[in-house]
Amino acid sequence: MIRKFIKYLLSFLAFVILGSASFLARWRKNPKKPALLWGTTPLKSILLCSEALKEEGYVSHTVIREIYPILDKKAFDFTLFSSKKNFLRSIINQVYPYYFFIISLFKYDIFHFFFDGGILANTPLVFLEFPLLKFAKKKLVLIPYGSDTFVFDKLQNPLWKHALLINHPHLSKKTKQIENAIHQGTKYADTIIGCLVHLACLPRWDILPLVPYPIDLNRLDPALPKTQGNICIAHAPNHRGAKGTEFIIKAIEQLKTEGYPIKFLLIENKTTKESLALIKQADIFIDQLIFGFALAALEALAYSKIVITGVDLKDSHYKLFSYYSYLNDCPIIPTSPEDIYEKLLNLIKERDQWTHYGQKSRQFVEKYHSYKIIAQMYKTIYQKVYHGNDSVDLINYFSPK
């Protein structure tokens, strides 16, 4: 009872203080180079984005709500909630997000969040965060990552819906909540970044990369596929159902029974460092069979691996990225649950081409997803939303010239 009273009291006081802080922040003079904040779902992707912009001379920080076991907490700049359980810590956990939000109003100029919320996401005042940022004349860039934008009522592809229901059945009960978050985000965002699959339920997007994240090529040295000896195939599912893992295992077991010398690395419950080390050992990396691809596939491409993933080029969803983005340049091998065995078998039969395939993989990341290239995409966004350059054409940024 006391905790509930304290929670409501803090929320009321926070409402008054946050409104006042937003009013004062309106009058802060904007610096020539905006300060950047990335958060707050704890994903490695925001670390990479922040690092890429730091290399371009920006003040750029990350903030997360919690820490996942596979990630290094020290890599992120700020954490909003402590995992320690006691009365004092619970009070601090309720107060600190409000404090951090106020500080951020006077410290940062552009906020990069996912659709499931920012600094106030786990507070009673979450619904006020985007309006307060807008009132304070801050710029908001929203990026979808998956479960934050999948509205089951609107998913047209039953295969996608079924795969999500295997690992995320709770999302079907949060349809209205997710849809409301999307509508509010769409209303207040200065820029929404579309990307493979995750834009399926979005009303709008303003720029269309395949994946809006960079790869640090200085840390990932090329390791070309072997053309002799055992064949090493890696797969790193964070959610087996959504990745089509059972179909991958079945295909590989069939190839093994036929006498092909395959070593299969099923990468699960590993830290980022451990996962990358295992991917580097592989010749072939299978990302996922149901959806498109994301960060792990880019990392494998950077390592010069042959990458297989579930991009159906006949599907209208992917045609969008063929016509208006750079999917046609991507060297990934598209596949599905029904033909994963044939795709692997064909690859094995043309092993003499693996060096060439690996070189194309690395070249793709160098051309489209290096730190400098993705940083330039974000800098172009800033030119439009922060510096007011209306001549910047974001929607056609990746269109064939």
Q: How confident is the prediction along the chain (401 residues), in pLDDT tens digits per residue? A: 566 666 677 778 888 899 999 999 999 888 999 999 999 999 999 999 999 999 999 999 999 998 777 777 788 999 998 766 766 777 778 889 999 999 999 999 999 999 999 999 999 999 999 999 999 999 999 999 989 999 998 888 898 899 999 988 998 899 999 999 999 999 999 999 999 989 999 999 999 999 999 999 999 999 999 999 999 999 999 889 889 999 999 999 999 999 999 999 999 999 889 999 999 999 999 999 998 898 999 999 999 999 999 988 778 889 999 999 999 999 999 999 999 999 999 999 999 999 999 999 999 999 999 999 999 999 999 999 999 999 999 999 999 86
- Delimit the CATH 3.40.50.2000 region(s) of the chain: 231-369
355 preceded by cis ω (within 30°)? no
Task: For domain 231-369, give its CATH number from 3.40.50.300, 3.20.20.140, 1.10.10.10, 3.40.50.2000.
Answer: 3.40.50.2000
For the entire predicted model, the pTM comes to 0.94
CA–CA gap between residue 343 and residue 335 (Å, rounded):
7
CA–CA gap between residue 211 and residue 145 (Å, rounded):
10
pLDDT of residue 10: 72
DSSP state of 386: T
Which whole-number Å values give the CA distances from 339 to 220, 240, 247, in the listed order? Answer: 30, 18, 10
Answer whether 298's CB lies under 8 Å from 211's CB: yes
Answer whether 150's CB lies under 8 Å from 102's CB: no
3-state secondary structure of 62: strand
CB atoms inside a 10 Å sphere around CB 44: 19
pLDDT of residue 222: 97
- List the Cα angle 60/63/66 in 5-degree steps: 160
CA–CA gap between residue 292 and residue 198 (Å, rounded):
9
